[in-house]
Chain A
Amino acid sequence: MSKLLEVEDLRVSFPTRTGLVQAVRGVSFSLGKERLGIVGESGSGKSQTGRAIMGLTAETAQITAKKLDFNGIDLLKASPAQRRAMRGKRIAMILQDPKYSLNPVMTIGRQIVEALRAHERIGGAEARRRALEMLAAVQIRDPERVFNLYPHEVSGGMGQRAMIAMMLVAGPELLIADEPTSALDVTVQLEVLGILNRLVAERGMGLIFVSHDLRLVSSFCDRVIVMYAGRIVEELPASRLAQAEHPYTRGLLNCMPKIGADRHPLPVLDRKPEWAL
């Protein structure tokens, strides 16, 4: 399988008053046209990993890596202009909450058209046609109507579909989804994931799915990376999650309440300092 993305020894650190905080400490993985899940709790560095690939890390941060290679392009050496041209066109990112990540004073349609015209030289009518097509592809029933709505006029699920439409309209090769469904209701979650799954498969994209929800990720992705304190503690095929070996992964799986399991009190995670070494 050809590699879309290769990451080797990625480190992201932030200088603070009390010294250097290392958010990501030597993460390595590679990605083909597949669905890769990155799971971890708050502060594990999962989002910063995604942001470093996208080129959205805060300017004060220091990023180093032995290799950060996207389709033969060295992302660390790319100029800001080069990265800007790639961002949105070749690598796209879906954020958690459509309420905060869509532009509140611009209609949904205009935002999608803007994303498209930032990367392609096409006329207004053509852009509008493609935006409507994309809205239909994310299973919005009445694309013409939604095109003219503002983000606050639609539900969370609809907003997240609009965001997916906006991110996919330029036809990226790699999609990073950072907690794309965490702000949504469980029933809506599945619909949105279904749409994402179909589009990723149809268009042959690589997907990095960042989430805190181990169960959801393992049911959606092909492969799962589990992060703890800025490092990868375990990597395994999603289907073999039940056979996870690292005590952190097992602890995470175990501490969630399950319907039908009568466990009082719930087993809690006993964090070992050596996991963070």
Chain B
Amino acid sequence: MTSALSIDKLRVTFDDFLALKDVSLEVKPGESFGLVGESGSGKSTLLRAVAGLAPVTGGKVEVNGKPLGAKRDKAFYRQVQMVFQDPYGSLHPRQTVDRLLLEPLDIHGFDDTERRIVRALDEVGLGPSFRFRYSHQLSGGQRQRVAIARALILEPSILLLDEPTSALDASVQAEVLNLLEKVRADRKLTFVMVSHDLAVVTHMCDRLMVMQHGREVELLSSADLAARQVTQDYTRSLLTASEGYRRSA
């Protein structure tokens, strides 16, 4: 079976700085894959490089068996959509929710936009009353739901999630994570999710890659992580850190 996403020795360079050093990974169709690491580990850069938002200087990326060129085409964005971390920064401040959802449909020449917008809002648990609001009239959780609706409205097969809940309160995070799990099950989506929170990634993903300094540290399954079956010291220190503060530490 072809992988949904296949990355081979991907390299990203910002000026003289090597942000991503020959990272390879395979994500199977329908799988949920996590990327964990501290700031500067290259986890977001990897995701952005796949989406065509980072300067790739080496390596290959294949989506559903099709190699990607230097510039992403329209067909790519129908397959792959992204949800960003900050719901306050990723929605156009002067467009209504309706306009925000119409834009991708317009670009890709979808018909039946009316029905699709209503359905998309419904799917993310926002009623039709939200359709003509501006993003500043919404809470952080509602904004993130709009961002998810915007990503899903093109019916992609792969969703790239860059810290989708780290700007949200714990109770809202639970709601958004539940929503993401539900749409993944309903639409048989493939997820690639970046987070600094090990608990969130193990909850959402089947497998994960721990990254540091732009390199892979360890590739393991969430079950192994939960059972503390880790081989690298860095992963172990992340695990310890995620358990909270200890007086003696």
Contact = CB atoms under 8 A, between A and B. Distances in A.
A266 B198 contact: no
A269 B226 contact: no
Nearest to A186: B241
Contact of B171 (A188, A219, A252): A252
Given A216-B245, A256-B199, A42 B140 contact: yes
Interface residues of A, number: 35
Nearest to B172: A41
Contact of A257 (B196, B200, B247): B200
Contact of A259 (B173, B226, B237): B226
B177 A260 contact: no
Given A259-B199, A260-B226, A188 B245 contact: no
Interface in A192-246: 193-194, 197, 212-216, 218-220
B6 interface: no
B225 A255 contact: no
Nearest to A258: B199
A80 interface: no
B70 interface: no
B241 A189 contact: yes
A268 B171 CA distance: 6
B238 to A, nearest CB: 7
B42 to A, nearest CB: 14
Nearest to A257: B203
Contact of A266 (B202, B203, B225): B203
B170 to A, nearest CB: 5
A256 B177 CA distance: 10
Interface in B200-249: 200, 202-204, 225-227, 237-239, 241-242, 244-247, 249
26 contacts: A41-B170, A41-B171, A186-B241, A187-B38, A187-B238, A187-B241, A188-B38, A189-B245, A190-B249, A194-B249, A197-B245, A197-B247, A213-B170, A219-B246, A220-B244, A255-B173, A256-B174, A257-B197, A257-B200, A257-B204, A258-B203, A259-B199, A265-B178, A265-B181, A267-B174, A269-B171
The 3 tightest CB contacts between A and B, nearest first, are A257-B203, A269-B171, A219-B244
Given A187-B241, A259-B226, A266-B177, 16 more contacts: A185-B196, A186-B198, A186-B241, A190-B249, A194-B245, A218-B244, A219-B244, A255-B171, A255-B173, A256-B199, A257-B197, A257-B199, A260-B227, A265-B177, A265-B182, A269-B171
